[in-house]
Homo-oligomer: A and B are copies of this chain.
Amino acid sequence: MFNTWENIRKTTPLIHHITNYVTVNDVANITLACGASPVMADDAEEVAEITQLASGLCLNIGTLNQRTIPAMLSAARRSGELNHPVILDPVGAGATRLRTQTALDILQTGSVTCVRGNISEVKTLIHGTGNTKGVDAAAVDSVTEENLAASCEFAKQTAHKLNTIVAITGAIDLVADTRQCYIIRNGRPEMSRITGTGCQCSALVAACIAANKTKPLAAAATAVIAMGLAGEIAHKHLLAHEGNAACRSRIIDTICHLTAAELNKGAKYEIR
């Protein structure tokens, strides 16, 4: 499965990001770290041209605004026409009507390959409203060992309804299409105290799918495993006085060095 990871470094796909200004630098650096190449461009007048040069598009609505929403839609449509993979990170869907509606509008273009979000965001896309607390998932929505069977079923049904792959990340990650669901137990709880680990995960999904267009489910699962494993390895390297800022850098550094063999050894997943 993890030759999908090596394919990023073999093909160095160019990924077009229209993303938020909070975590954009980390998104660019992790895209480079995994072996892909990032280009950030969000003006409506140029996004179609940029998307055309790229091998994949990653849309993140973390700091969406009236200027960038039309740019996202335009880039999504152009990517759809070109058959490029499109990843949607619906940051904060459920927190405001603007976010929920924009995420739905992007899905409506029919070009989205994979949605990567937390459970509250993904539930919002299905139910129209959600329990999102700002940009974090609500505890009541959490995927747990107790509700795992039902959660897997929900992930598959969501994949069916949205007609995309769905990657739901949290303490337990689920990556599903209509038939299969990867249950992934990599990662560290500390990752939720670093801004942008979700955004960076979406960037890895984009790079991984762009480099493995015929196996998008395995590619998305590989990206989610890689992010979780990077969190674990980064945590091991932390010194006693280091915290979330050091951990943030070390996650990116870990992705720089991460090999398919290490992924194979460190991955904790099952498929249902």
Contacts and interface: CB of A to CB of B under 8 A. Distances in A.
Interface of A: 14, 16, 20-26, 28-29, 32-33, 37-46, 49-50, 53-54, 62-67, 92, 95-99, 133-136, 193-196, 233, 237, 241-246, 248-257
A237 B241 contact: yes
A249 B252 contact: no
A195 B22 contact: no
Nearest to A49: B96
A7 B172 CA distance: 29
A37 B139 CA distance: 14
28 contacts: A20-B40, A21-B24, A22-B40, A25-B26, A25-B196, A28-B195, A32-B193, A33-B193, A37-B133, A38-B134, A39-B92, A39-B95, A40-B62, A41-B96, A42-B63, A43-B65, A44-B66, A54-B134, A66-B67, A67-B67, A193-B256, A237-B241, A243-B253, A243-B256, A245-B249, A245-B252, A246-B249, A246-B253
Contacts of A195: 25, 28-29, 32, 38
Contacts of A20: 40
B241 A245 contact: no
Contact of A24 (B22, B32, B255): B22
B245 A257 contact: no
A43 B14 contact: no
Contacts of A28: 22-23, 195-196
Contacts of A246: 249-250, 253
Nearest to A66: B43
Contacts of A193: 32-33, 256
Contact of A46 (B99, B135, B252, B255): B99
A243 B33 contact: yes
B22 A23 contact: no
Contacts of A14: 133-134
Nearest to A64: B43
Contact of A53 (B16, B63, B133, B257): B133
B25 A22 contact: yes
What 8 A-B pairs come out closest when comparing CB atoms? A243-B256, A39-B134, A243-B253, A245-B252, A28-B195, A46-B96, A245-B249, A46-B98
B92 A41 contact: yes
Contacts of A46: 96-99
Given A96-B46, A252-B243, A29 B194 contact: yes
A94 to B, nearest CB: 10
